Chain A
Amino acid sequence: MLRILWDSRIQSAAVILFAVGFTTLLLNRNLMKKIVGLNIMDTAAYLFLTSIGYIEGRLPPILADGVADASAYVNPLPAGLVLTGIVVSVSVTAVLLALSLRLYKRYHTLDLDTIYRIVHEEAEERE
């Protein structure tokens, strides 16, 4: 068991990081920390993907010195997927940051519980 964990230590670390990011995103009440959690979660997924895409001893997937045999190179697809994924997570982070900014301007806090309380009080005043 320990042997397996050690052999796949990067993947194990990625799983732990993913869990840390996921719980932070879901459970933390502070919007900034949630966004950090989101980024940890996504980065952990990319770490996992990058680590399985790299094969020790092989070349980067760029045709060089006339070596045409595919088995000499690493698989370029995981790197491509990671790039796509990074673009996705950057845009999601940007939107979440923009929303947080608007919430902060309106309610002067980043704590979700406090914002809920203010919204609730406002709703009661309206009635």
Chain B
Amino acid sequence: MSSFVLNFPLFMIILCLVCAAVGTLLPRAAARTVSLSLAALCLAAIFCVFLYVYGAGQEFEYRMGHYPHPWGNELKIGILESLFGMAFSLVLFLSLLGGKDPLDRLVEPGKGRFFYVMADLVLVALLVLVYSNDLFTGYVFIEICTLASCGILMIRGNGRTVLASTRYLIFSLTGSGLFLFGVIILYNITGHLLMPDLKEAVGALTASGAYRFPFLASVSLVSIGLAVKSGLFPFHLWMADTYGEAVPTSSAILSGLVTKGYAFFLVRFIFDVTGPDIFWQSGVQNVLFAMGAAGVVMGSVGAIQENNLYRMIAYSSAAQIGYIYMGIGLSADLGLTAALFHILLHALTKPALFLSASRLSARMGGALKFRNLQGAGYYEPAAGVYFTAAAFSMIGLPFTMGFISKYLFGLAAFRASTPKLVLTLLVLAVSTVLNTFYFARTVLRIYNAPKKPPAERQPAKDLPSYIIAGALFALINVAVGILSGPLTDLLGYGLSLF
């Protein structure tokens, strides 16, 4: 394979933008085909890139235009970048494939195509966040991602979703503001925006001891800004309203992809801008760890109190974001491996939960309260099985990805300091019990014999696309849960190359 493959990420980014522009002119069905093919093509192209980079065993800097750094703009093409690019494309593909029905039911016919346009824009933003080597380009695409995800949320167009999107946008913009200011301070003290130059300059600054306070401020602002955008506790309050009101497909894309993109960008910031050692000297990781640990517990507590299926899953999302940031704050090697694994786990699980929940609820006449969902698993067997599989993975039962993730967190905790070890184990134990409680409650409820058949039962609709997407979500989850070795090795290898 020649190095021509290294052009693929840029080609995909441009293609996504073109498809988004073209999609606005197409009818809904055609726009959907374009989006699906785009995600599949991205998956295939990035897989080629991944094979090439893995074979070469090194990372590549891809110069855009003819100017070398520090003047030009660059992409960085490495193993982890390609792995996450693939994962994001795959999850978007499966979410769009399985999420057709709620979109058709809940969105006005004339507006459907815009959903797919926004999905294309989310994909391009994620690809740039994954690959870009330039902080300011990162900022611009963070904002594109924010606007596109806001569009995805408000596509339903009723008052409550507009309110929820407004709330999401406000939270998200405070996060971007913090991030932008952090980047500007960093640019002020180093004079660079490209990551390789920044890393050099940051190393020199730390060695000389100059600008210690502005540097600390900048690292904190960037980290907290991205954490706010991911919805880390205590900034998770928008999640329940937003995911509770939006079209389930929107919630799937937002919780599975958008919030993860920011977390991955933070990992790249830690490795490519500050370097793990300097980041760990700053102490910001302890703040992230504390917020993450609190988020895990508070998210689970929120989920237990909920009586509404979507809102419960939303609170569970807040808890999973907590896990990711807890891992980032835990340690530079194993903690980050656990965090990255958890990003993949959550990206593959949460969309499956939202889409299955939407099927179950639609079958029971749109009911979302638990008592009205009784027996839904019998009427909608496929959705019931997929929901159960995803719920087991969230709890962390063996033979699912969730188990491996909890195992990795435990392993990482034993390499960390004693207070973090105790706290992590405590949080793991408490959250597993709480997770089991609220997911088992739901699974038992949907498999309880219904007292009387629901009056508003919708006629059975054959939906092969949903069956395939849900089956793939569940299969990947279980397959990785059983054969997790190669993936965790790959994450560790990718981190060592970073």
Contacts and interface: CB of A to CB of B under 8 A. Distances in A.
Interface of A: 11, 18, 21-22, 25-26, 31, 34, 38, 41-42, 44-45, 48-49, 52, 77-78, 81, 84-85, 88, 91-92, 95-96, 99-100, 102-103, 106-107, 115-116, 119
Given A22-B174, A31-B166, A99-B154, A45 B180 contact: yes
Nearest to A19: B181
Nearest to A34: B170
Interface in B116-151: 136, 139-140, 143, 146-147, 150
B110 interface: no
Given A81-B136, A88-B140, A95-B147, A115 B180 contact: no
Q: Shortest 10 CB-CB distances between A and B: which pairs?
A: A106-B159, A99-B166, A41-B177, A88-B143, A102-B162, A52-B188, A45-B180, A26-B174, A49-B184, A45-B181
A25 B170 contact: yes
B374 interface: no
A42 B169 CA distance: 15
A116 B193 CA distance: 41
A99 B162 contact: yes
B165 A18 contact: no
B173 interface: yes
Contacts of A49: 184, 187
Nearest to A96: B169
A109 to B, nearest CB: 12
Interface of B: 136, 139-140, 143, 146-147, 150, 154, 159-160, 162-163, 165-166, 169-170, 173-174, 177-178, 180-181, 184-185, 187-188, 193
A52 B190 CA distance: 12
A94 to B, nearest CB: 9
Given A96-B166, A100-B166, A85 B180 contact: yes
A47 to B, nearest CB: 10
A21 B270 CA distance: 28
A115 B163 contact: yes
Nearest to A88: B143
B192 to A, nearest CB: 10
25 contacts: A18-B177, A18-B181, A42-B180, A45-B180, A45-B181, A48-B188, A52-B187, A77-B193, A81-B136, A84-B136, A84-B140, A88-B140, A91-B143, A92-B169, A95-B147, A95-B169, A96-B173, A99-B154, A99-B166, A100-B166, A103-B166, A106-B162, A116-B163, A119-B159, A119-B160
- Where chain A touches its partner, the secondary structure class is helix
B140 A22 contact: no
Nearest to A115: B163
Nearest to B169: A96
B144 to A, nearest CB: 8
Contacts of B177: 18, 21-22, 25, 38, 41-42, 45
Given A25-B177, A38-B173, A41-B177, A92 B143 contact: yes
A119 B147 contact: no
A103 B246 CA distance: 16
A82 to B, nearest CB: 10
Contacts of B160: 119
A92 B146 contact: yes
Given A45-B180, A81-B136, A25 B174 contact: yes
Nearest to B143: A88
Contacts of A48: 181, 184-185, 188
A49 to B, nearest CB: 5
A99 B136 contact: no
Nearest to A101: B162
Given A45-B181, A95-B150, A106-B162, A25 B188 contact: no
Nearest to A99: B166
Contact of A45 (B166, B174, B184): B184
A77 B140 CA distance: 15
Given A45-B180, A48-B181, A48-B184, A99 B165 contact: yes
Contacts of B166: 31, 96, 99-100, 103
B338 to A, nearest CB: 31
Contacts of A102: 162
Contacts of A21: 177
A49 B193 CA distance: 13
A52 to B, nearest CB: 5
Contacts of B162: 99, 102-103, 106
A11 to B, nearest CB: 8
Nearest to A80: B136
Contacts of A116: 163
A115 to B, nearest CB: 6
B372 to A, nearest CB: 11
A116 B154 CA distance: 17
Most B CB atoms within 10 A — which of A38, A95, A100, A119? A95
Contact of A119 (B163, B173, B180): B163
A44 B184 CA distance: 11
A24 to B, nearest CB: 10
Contacts of A100: 166
A91 B147 contact: yes
B159 A25 contact: no
A26 B170 contact: yes
